[in-house]
Structure 1
Amino acid sequence: MAALNSWRPWARLRTAIPVLLLDWAALSIAIAVVPGLSASTGWDVLLAAVLLAVAAAVLRPLLAAFAARLGWAGVVAGWLSIQAVLVYLALSLAPHIQVSGFWPAFWASWIYSTLVSAGMWVVTAGDDSAVLAHLLRTTRKTRSQALTTTVPGIVMIQIDGLSAPLARWAIQAGNLPTLTRWIRSGSHRLVEWHAQLPATTPASQAGLLHGAAGHVPAFRWLEKETGRLVVTNHPKDAEYVEQGFSDGRGLLADGGVSLSNVFSGDAPISLLTMSTVARRGARRGPTREVSAYLVDPFGLTRSLVLTAGEMVKEVFQARRQRARDVEPRVHRGGSYVALRGVTNVLLRDLNLNLAAEHMMRGAPAIYCDLVDYDEIAHHAGPTRAESLASLDGTDWVLGTLEKLAASAPRPYHLVVLSDHGQSQGATFLQRYGMTLEALVRRLMSPDGTEVATAPDNEQWGRVRALLTEVSGEQRVVGKLTDSVLRAQEEPPAPGSPQGADLVVVASGNLGMVYLARERRRLTLEEIEARHPNLLTGLVTHPGVGFAMVRSSARGPVVLGRDGVRCLADGRIDGTDPLAGFGPHAADDLSRHDTLPHVGDIVLNSLLDPATGEVAAFEELVGCHGGLGGWQTRPVLIHPAAWTASTSLIGADAVHRQLVGWLADLGLRSPRPGVADPAGREEG
């Protein structure tokens, strides 16, 4: 704490001077270009900039608190008008500045805020002091009201999609300064764990947060018994799935906070989490601290300016990838351009603000999923330059949280982990000119079989969660965002699952085929009798690595083009179809065969032994879900002093390890119903 106190005055002075000069320049430009505003001298504008800073310091917290009481509608109105009101007051009070009315000040405030946001990015590039000062300022009152304790808390940051081999390389190269410092200093230790099939965020988070990975067979699946097509990043489906395994004792049950996850971990406070955003009765308006961030020029306006910059950068990088003929690649246009800006800037900034708020409240455990890297790696490739650059932003978040912890009402340990890795490769469609669905249809008898495909919408999950969180407010903004949310929903699939003969779903390079007329899983013998060309055609196709089906005589069997492996007794006839897919492949498939709602046929794409590339059944150059490559090799970075298991197989095992650490710190209550082991009232 002493080091932070000695650093803080210098950091404030180092930040305040360039910020004042930047405010002066931005306000001068705004006055010069907006009709109805004029100033006699530059010194008058400087005085106005000082008055604006004073007015903002005094009035903005009060206005933000009032906006929070009005809910999200008040926040949106405040974001649009509060800065304009402050600019109008500052210009009106400054001598020798003429203001013809409120509207010139309104437009000047937007020009001013945009210029300040862009300028601050340049001035503070590589320096987190301005962001840190902002977070400490907006959470000052929260911190003053929190109960101080010496019991440490844990902040768990999930870097979605980061594989252990890539993490090791980036740390060894020194590309991630915060993580590199932790590992090299010996304060933290990096270990690899194995993500069992399916290597997807929903399955891993069901395990990490609830110890229930066995309830999620894929990213999307068909419940044959009910005819329900489940897509886990639809809020209602995520809530439905969590209700099936939650026992009230998840990882975050004892006063924890869930931020931007698929499942809640039974956290009392759950924000931007898919399984909870649809619960209208549990939704509240924004807190004062969040409102302060959103209505501050350094908050939402800054994030939007940087989001626009990220979108421009994406257009340039995609064009450069095409110009250089980088292969493999996928189309990176349209909605993805906006999606990258939102996930890589706006959501990251919002998550940082929310984590800071709850650290200053003294939350015992916080779990936050940062999706920046995973999203870009899907479209650019997991080892491409733009994907690695996003990791730098995540590392910056870790460094900021580390500094924030020094001012929190309790000490905090930071744990970094991922849910899966990613594997690269040209897609199945790019390689063979047809989708997996089209191949299955062609191999079946040509009787006009109707095919239903699950919507390909993993990328929009976090945005949907954000929109649903906002739309829960039954006010003006709720109605507006409800319409946006409906617009983002995919059109109905060609044929509802209930009426389709065949449903084919894909999760990266994992595919599942459902012969949907039967409300039960069909056996190998039944599939062969009904569609004699289907299994042979699939396993001999060059884009398919293997297929798993259940035999009534031999149990689960894995079929390859040159051999068959019986999972029950390990017998191999011919060439082992799982050779090259890793030491855990047979165990993973044996376990996957027992999960509920597994397809009649489970397919895994090819694995190129020379490059380690796979062929996603979705249009993603970086993918995860099946076997092959780095997708099953996530990472766990924890304080080196903590005892950790030497063999972490599956997300459930990591969950048990995390729960054990919480218990060692005194943060795990021995009985259900004890909300907060630190004894605080939940506010």
Structure 2
Amino acid sequence: MAELSLRRAGTRLRTVLPVLLLDWAALSIAIAVTPGLSASTGWDVLAAAVLLALAAAVLRPTLAAFAARLGWAGVVAGWLAIQAVLVYLALSLAPHIQVNGFWPAFWASWIYSVLVSAGMWVVTAGDDSAVLAHLLRTTSKTRREAVPSAVPGVVMIQIDGLSAPLARWAIQAGNLPTLTRWIRSGSHVLAEWHAQLPATTPASQAGLLHGASAHVPAFRWLEKETGRLVVTNHPKDAEYVEQGFTDGRGLLADGGVSLSNVFSGDAPTSLLTMSTVSRKGARRGPTREVSAYLVDPFGLTRSLVLTCGEMVKEVFQARRQRARDIEPRVHRAASYVALRGVTNVLLRDLNLNLAAEHMMRGAPSVYCDFVDYDEIAHHAGPTRAESLASLDGIDWVLGTLEKLAAAAPRPYHLVVLSDHGQSQGATFLQRYGMTLEALVRRLISPEDTELVTAGDAEQWGRVSALLAEVSGERRLVGRLTGSVLRGRDEPAPAAGTDLVVVASGNLGMVYLAREPGRLTLEEIEARHPNLLTGLVSHPGVGFAMVRSRARGAVVLGRDGVRHLADGRVDGADPLAAFGPHAAADLRRHDTLPHVGDIVLNSLLDPATGEVAAFEELVGCHGGLGGWQTRPVLIHPAAWTAAPPLDGADAVHRQLVRWLKDLGQRQRL
């Protein structure tokens, strides 16, 4: 026992000593460069650093709890002021340090916090012990208050956009240490599942979380009967769509927690989730643990410093792509620089803190979507170095959660899955000098056609949801996001609009908006005789699906027709290159509500597997072709899965069976 105590004391000393030395150095620099502060010797600064550490340990939890009671405004004020108050107290109490008022201490506190954050990143790079200790410290009261349970919990981490082939390669290469250890040790197994058309997050999450993927025909679509253009990463639209299919028995219904998802899974606790951020009665104030994260220099300030570093890295990597003439590539705008910093650092850190909080509360199930990889892969490419580096960050999160589970009030299993993969390729616009919308306009009648298009706003919805969760006020969100979202929000069709063209990756849908209901092939031909022929003969279009009055759903290609009802092929099969699931996926897609009059899929290059997105994204998903329909499911090896996992609804049923086997499902 004595030997064990000595070993633990030694471990704590090895952890505390480098942090104290870093604090000493950072505080010395802050005092040296801030007018109105001075110290006689370095030993006086060391004494101040020790006092600061003691004051933080004693006072910060109380101050954070008080800030949480004041709501988000109190937390923001606390983030700005609490560290400054602690620094002011420490410097005032330390011997031989001159402090000429509060404001010098305020500015010194920011210099100190930034230096500590940057220094901790250098000192602890690749080591999660400091973050783990911080999470355990900030959730200590929650753990003490939680009721222990022998029923295992499940934490489900969605790595948005990760394909099974890429996951296998990264694990075989050892680039993801946590997942590699799980697979090599035999504790987990990796399975591939098939994402049905459309291969996009809202459709997959409607299936994974609710078993209702058939309610989502694309990332965005037009409801002809109401004239509503639905964009599923807009919170109000996500809420509207979920209300249409929820039955109260989603994946997370029995006490689960939804974090950073599009839909809630009927979770009683739902944070940063598109469909619930504007719901009446939704939580608007921060929790004590989130407040502790935000007001702690190791929390929000650290995340902001690393966010700035991520933005600098993005500028360098984008410039390197241009300098090396790497193709395909897309323009990585200044707005994306900020977006990458938010999604790849700030949102990831916040998700980790929220997941840790609810694990320490003993939540039976947690489902959290990490969008880091998907966002970078859209702009850099799914197999490019910066995209793969983001996977390493999520793997680090998995390792941290695994260690946190050992301190939780119930045992936890970890499940990792994705919602779709990604496919790469130069965009339709890059290849042909025109957008899909322009092509459709030219084929119809440019003089008489008013066009509404919908483009690439996928990940900005995450920022909107984050700000809505923080502010609790939609008008404030509009003011905060207006400048960056202007030009990205899809316009609602005006009365009398002739044509609406929407894109979801390399899946496009064309609506002849003035015509009620879904038009048949015969009706389209009668109204616009050049449209279908012009589309399927274009080299950037792989095929078009329309519904014939006489023959049902048909797939048109340049050299042939596929009849989906009976499988008959006239000429060359337009689906031959798109894999064994293509016909079944299109047959199902044809039955979904609000499908376009014409459904288009881009080309698929047989030599490279590349597609041509109808949006300006070098990595895309939504349609058919490449790895976008091949997501992954990594689960404990002791759990058996019933193949085939064909579609998100099938994965949902499997997840529900596992929860039921663990004793979590209270009502069938």
- Structure 1 partner of 2:486: 490
1:91 corresponds to which residue? 91
More displaced, 122-131 or 442-451?
442-451
Within 5 A, what are the aligned runs for 1:309-348? Answer: 309-348=309-348
Aligned counterpart, 2:245: 245
Please say if 1:274 is aligned against 2:271. no
5+ residue gaps, structure 1: 672-683
Tell me how far apart the structure 2 counterparts of residues 479 and 51 of structure 1 sit (CA, whole Å): 43
* Alpha-carbon distance in structure 1 between the residues aligned to 2:408 and 2:603: 49
Partner Cα distance (1:213, 1:8) in 2: 51
Determine whether 1:646 maps to 2:643: yes
Please list the CA deviations of residues 421-466 of structure 1 after superposition, one character each: whole Å capped at 9, or x if unmatched: 0000000000000000000000003432000012421021211110
TM-score by length of 2: 0.98
1:434 corresponds in structure 2 to 434
1:274-673 matched pairs, under 5 angstroms: 274-472=274-472, 481-491=477-487, 496-671=493-668
Q: Deviations over 1:492-516 (max 9, x none)?
A: 7577354310000000000000000
Q: SS where residue 578 of structure 2 aligns?
A: coil
CA distance in 2, matches of 1:526, 1:8: 78
Structure 1's 618 and 99: CA in aligned 2 closer, same or farther, altered over 3 A?
same
Question: Given the superposition, is the C-alpha separation of residues 441 and 321 from structure 1 closer, same or farther in structure 2, using an over 3 Å criterion?
Answer: same
Task: Say if 1:210 and 1:246, in contact at 8 Å, map to a contact too.
Answer: yes
- Number of corresponding residues: 664
Matched, 1:223 2:223: yes
C-alpha distance after superposition, 1:327-382 (max 9, x if no partner): 00001121000000000000000000000000000000000000000000000000
Tell me if structure 1 keeps the 8 A contact 2:506–2:621: yes
1:643 and 1:507, CA in 2 relative to 1: closer, same or farther beyond 3 A? same
The one-letter amino acid of 2:222's match is L
Distance 1:346 1:8 in 2: 32
Q: Could you tell me whether the CA contact under 8 Å between 2:284 and 2:469 is conserved in 1?
A: no
Cα distance, 1:586 vs structure 2: 0.1
- Partner Cα separation in structure 2 for residue 6 and residue 523 of structure 1: 79
- Cα-to-partner distance string for 1:141-186 (whole Å, 9 max, x where unaligned): 0000000111100000000000000000000000000000000000
State the identity %: 86
- What's the CA shift string for 1:364-403, capped at 9, x where partnerless? 0000000000000000000000000000000000000000
The question of whether the paired residues in 2 share the 8 Å contact of 1:229 and 1:497 is answered with no
* Contact 1:450/1:495, CA 8 A, preserved across alignment: no
- Measured in 1, the distance between the counterparts of 2:444 and 2:83 equals 63
Structure 2 contact 191–632 (Cα < 8 Å) conserved: yes
Residues 213, 49 of structure 1: CA spacing in aligned structure 2 closer, same or farther, 3 A cutoff? same
State how far apart, in whole Å, the 1-side matches of 2:172 and 2:472 are. 45
- The 4+ residue runs of structure 1 with deviation greater than 6 A are 4-8
The AA in structure 1 aligned to 2:559 is D
Q: Matched residues in 1 for 2:448 and 2:6: separation?
A: 75
State the Cα deviation string for residues 196-253 of structure 1 (Å, max 9, x = none).
0000000000000000000000000000010000000000000000000000000000
Unaligned runs of 5+ in 2: none
Cα distance 1:494–1:266, how it changes in 2: closer, same or farther (>3 A)? closer
Contact 1:280 1:472 in 2 (8 A): no
> Deviation per CA, 1:77-108, whole angstroms, max 9, x where unpaired?
00000000000000000010000000000000
Give the drift of 1:280: 4.1
**1:11, CA displacement in angstroms?**
4.7
Q: CA offsets, 1:10-62, max 9 Å, x none?
A: 55332211110000000000000000000000000000000000000000000
Asked if 1:141 corresponds to 2:141, the answer is yes
Who is 1:199 aligned against? 199
Q: 1:646 to 1:130 in 2, by over 3 A?
A: same
Distance verdict in 2 for CA 1:288–1:5, change over 3 Å: farther
Paired with 1:515 and 1:479, the residues of 2 have a C-alpha distance of 33
Normalised by the length of structure 1, the TM-score is 0.96
Could you tell me how far apart the structure 2 residues matched to 1:116 and 1:99 are? 21
In the TM superposition, residue 481 of structure 1 has moved relative to its aligned partner by 4.5
Partners of 1:229 and 1:519 lie apart in 2 by: 15
Q: Which residue matches 1:52? A: 52
Higher alpha-carbon deviation: 641-650 or 214-223: 641-650
Query: What is the identity, as a one-letter code, of the residue corresponding to 1:73?
Result: A
Contact 2:460-2:485 within 8 A present in 1 as well? no
RMSD: 1.4
